[in-house]
């Protein structure tokens, strides 16, 4: 068995057609058929049922598919990484950022790479944590930075914690709630205004209900919800909506005085536990070390 046979089998399994797989591999159909036949002989059984023009994976083929995909991908990454190290290159990187990390990292990361590593290809993906986990497992992304409280532990995931980010409530300067007395603001006073938030973990939801009662359940309390914190912050700047989320995401507005963090009664104690998540056993390119160092230094509450 060799990698060429596995790569040929993977192309056939993914296209479902000998002709399309041969075209993709730039070989003849007869050469592809011989390669698949050799692999079947080595594995001791048919990998695909050839029914006219239709090809279906056999039970053995289905069991081989995922392992073959992993072996071929890891071999490709190993060759690429070795070549880059010999040439002194860093490789490319595709990262997925959760809501909070995206608001704090996306633009600074792109700016940093444009200035310090202008020849390196980088791509940033935004979206739900659930979708990004699928993309990571399908090797469409190389790493994620998300709140680990929204991720179930799994043997195929490496989760390296970075920092605990404090959460809180933020409103615009001049918001009517700031004129209320006494201070700090009673939690009930917030409910008179729209609450803008990203989807929150069950752990944060339980903490809020424990602190403030059933009316604090984010499922009922939140009136404006999306994955893009920057959009939520823009809404908070221009309306009476109140932002609930990682305070660091509103860092710029808090620094210039356009936004104000609310002190609540009783005090609000919750946050996000951010981590870099990668696929276990996957070969990392040198640029990943640059990304880890950047994220670790940037995410300071």
Average pLDDT value for residue range 3-31: 84
Q: Is residue 205 over pLDDT 80?
A: yes
For the chain, what are the domain ranges?
3-87, 91-301
* pLDDT for the residue numbered 301: 46
Categorize the per-residue pLDDT at 300 as very low, low, confident or very high, splitting at 50, 70 and 90: low
- pTM of this structure: 0.62
pLDDT in tens, 87-97: 455 678 999 99
Top mean-pLDDT range of 32-46, 130-144, 192-206: 130-144
- Which pLDDT does position 277 carry in this prediction? 95
pLDDT at residue number 98: 87
pLDDT digits (tens, 9 = 90+) for 280-289: 877 777 888 8
Confidence at residue 22, expressed as pLDDT on a 0 to 100 scale: 86
Per residue, what are the HEC states of the chain? CCHHHHHHHHHHHHHCCHHHHHHHHCCCHHHHHHHHHHHHHHHCCCCEEEECCEEEECHHHHHHHHHHHHHHHHHHHHHHHHHHHHHCCCCCEEEEECHHHHHHHHHHHHHHHHHHCCCCCEEEEECCHHHHHHHHHCCCCCEEEEEHHHCCCCCCEEEEEEEEEEEEEEEECCCHHHHCCCCCEEHHHHCCCCEEECCCCHHHHHHHHHHHCHHHCHHHHCCEECCCHHHHHHHHHHCCCEEEEEHHHHHHHHHHCCEEECCEECCCCCEEEEEEEEECCCCCCCHHHHHHHHHHHHCCC
Q: Which of 30-34, 87-91, 182-186, 240-244 has the highest mean pLDDT?
A: 240-244
pLDDT at 90: 64
- 79 pLDDT band (50/70/90 cuts)? low
Which are the contacts of 69, defined by CB distance < 8 A and separation ≥ 6?
10
pLDDT confidence of residue 278:
94
Compute the mean pLDDT over every residue in the chain, rounded to the nearest whole number. Answer: 85
Mean pLDDT lowest among 14-23, 58-67, 225-234: 58-67
Distance between CA 288 and CA 109 in Å, rounded? 13
Residue 144 near residue 97 (C-beta atoms within 8 A): yes
| Candidate from 20-29, 127-136, 228-237 with smallest mean pLDDT | 20-29
Alpha carbon distance 98, 227 (integer Å)? 8
Q: What is the reported pLDDT for 199?
A: 81
Burial of 216 from C-beta contacts in 10 A (0-12 / 13-18 / 19+): buried
Burial of 286 from C-beta contacts in 10 A (0-12 / 13-18 / 19+): middle
Backbone conformation region of residue 174, classed left if phi is above 0, alpha if psi is from -120 to 50, else beta: left
- pLDDT value of position 89: 56
Per-residue pLDDT tens digits for 21-72: 888 888 888 888 888 888 888 888 888 877 666 777 888 877 777 777 777 7
Q: Percentage of residues in the chain with pLDDT exceeding 90?
A: 31
Asked if residue 299 lies in contact with residue 105, where contact means CB atoms within 8 angstroms, the answer is yes
Instruction: Classify 91-301 by CATH class.
Output: alpha beta
**pLDDT at residue 114 above 70?**
yes
Q: Which of 133-137, 161-165, 296-300 has the highest mean pLDDT?
A: 133-137
CATH number of 3-87, picked from 1.10.150.120, 3.50.50.60, 2.130.10.10, 1.10.10.10 = 1.10.10.10
pLDDT at position 173 over 90: yes
């Amino acid at each position: 068995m060799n990698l060429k046979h596995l790569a040929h089998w993977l192309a056939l399994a993914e296209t479902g057609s000998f002709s399309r797989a041969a075209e993709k591999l730039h070989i003849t159909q007869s050469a592809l058929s011989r390669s698949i036949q050799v692999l079947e002989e080595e594995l001791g059984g048919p990998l695909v049922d050839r029914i006219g023009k239709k090809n279906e994976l056999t039970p053995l083929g289905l069991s081989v598919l995922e392992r073959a995909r992993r072996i071929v991908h890891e071999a490709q990454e190993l060759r690429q990484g070795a070549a880059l190290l010999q040439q002194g290159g860093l490789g490319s990187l595709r990262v997925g950022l959760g809501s909070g990390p995206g608001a704090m990292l996306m633009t600074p990361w792109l700016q940093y790479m444009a200035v310090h590593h202008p020849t390196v290809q980088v791509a940033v993906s935004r979206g739900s944590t659930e979708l990004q986990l699928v993309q990571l497992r399908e090797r469409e992304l190389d790493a994620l930075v998300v709140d680990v409280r929204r991720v179930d532990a799994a043997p195929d995931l490496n989760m390296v914690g970075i920092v605990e980010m404090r959460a809180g409530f933020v409103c615009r300067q001049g918001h009517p709630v700031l004129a209320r007395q006494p201070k700090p603001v009673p939690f009930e006073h917030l409910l008179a205004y729209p609450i803008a938030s990203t989807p929150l973990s069950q752990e944060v939801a339980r903490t809020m209900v424990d602190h403030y009662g059933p009316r604090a359940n984010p499922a009922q309390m939140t009136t404006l919800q999306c994955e893009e914190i920057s959009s939520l912050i823009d809404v908070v700047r221009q309306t009476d909506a109140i932002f609930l989320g990682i305070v660091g995401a509103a860092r710029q507005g808090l620094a210039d005085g356009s936004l104000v963090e609310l002190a609540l009664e009783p005090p609000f104690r919750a946050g996000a536990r951010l981590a870099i998540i990668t696929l276990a056993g996957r070969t990392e390119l040198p640029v990943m070390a640059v990304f880890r160092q950047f994220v670790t230094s940037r995410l300071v509450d």
